[in-house]
């Protein structure tokens, strides 16, 4: 994982999410999720939806409607994600993540491994 400081203020939110999305571990997750995509309704890319998950998590936002609203009014965040997913797209994506839990678990394991190498004092 890139060793950059993550800014958590509102202005730093877009940079923080972009940094997370650009990490090798998360980029691999996005690629794996894109590979699962089948033909059908054209929607938001996996990067935008994974980014929405980060926004919801980093700020402990309780609902997807609030998360989608924040992204919808934050232009820099939309640029970092590559779009502004709708609340319905976020709910569908959360369901998809639950259905493909092993892929998500593997990503979390890679993140923990990277962090333990980078920050051994915290592990």
Domain-embedded: residue 1: no
Domain-embedded: residue 29: yes
pLDDT tens per residue across span 65-119: 999 999 999 999 999 999 999 999 999 999 988 988 998 899 888 888 888 888 8
Task: Indicate the number of domains in the chain.
Answer: 1
Task: Provide the 8-state DSSP code for 5.
Answer: P
Domain of 65, in residue numbers: 10-35+42-122
Helix, coil or strand: residue 9:
coil
Contact 4, 23 (CB under 8 A): no
Alpha helices in 1-123 (DSSP H): 10-22, 24-36, 46-58, 64-73, 75-81, 87-99, 101-118
Domain-embedded: residue 28: yes
Domain-embedded: residue 108: yes
Q: In the structure, what pLDDT confidence band is assigned to residue 4 with cuts at 50, 70 and 90?
A: very low
pLDDT tens per residue across span 38-78: 655 567 889 999 999 999 988 899 999 999 999 999 999 99
Domain-embedded: residue 5: no
Q: What is the pTM of this model?
A: 0.81
Task: Give the separation between CA 122 and CA 32, rounded to whole angstroms.
Answer: 29
Domain-embedded: residue 91: yes
């Amino acid at each position: 994982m890139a060793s950059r400081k993550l800014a958590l203020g509102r202005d730093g939110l877009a940079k923080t999410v972009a940094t997370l999305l650009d990490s090798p571990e998360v980029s691999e997750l996005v690629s794996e999720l894109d590979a699962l995509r089948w033909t059908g309704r054209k929607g938001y890319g996996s990067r935008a939806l994974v980014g929405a998950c980060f926004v919801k998590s980093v700020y402990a936002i309780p609902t997807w409607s609030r998360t989608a609203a924040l992204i919808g009014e934050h232009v820099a965040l939309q640029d970092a994600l590559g779009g502004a997913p709708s609340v319905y797209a976020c709910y569908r994506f959360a369901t998809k993540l639950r259905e493909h839990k092993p892929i998500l678990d593997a990503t979390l394991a890679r993140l923990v491994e990277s962090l333990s190498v980078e920050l051994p004092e915290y592990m």
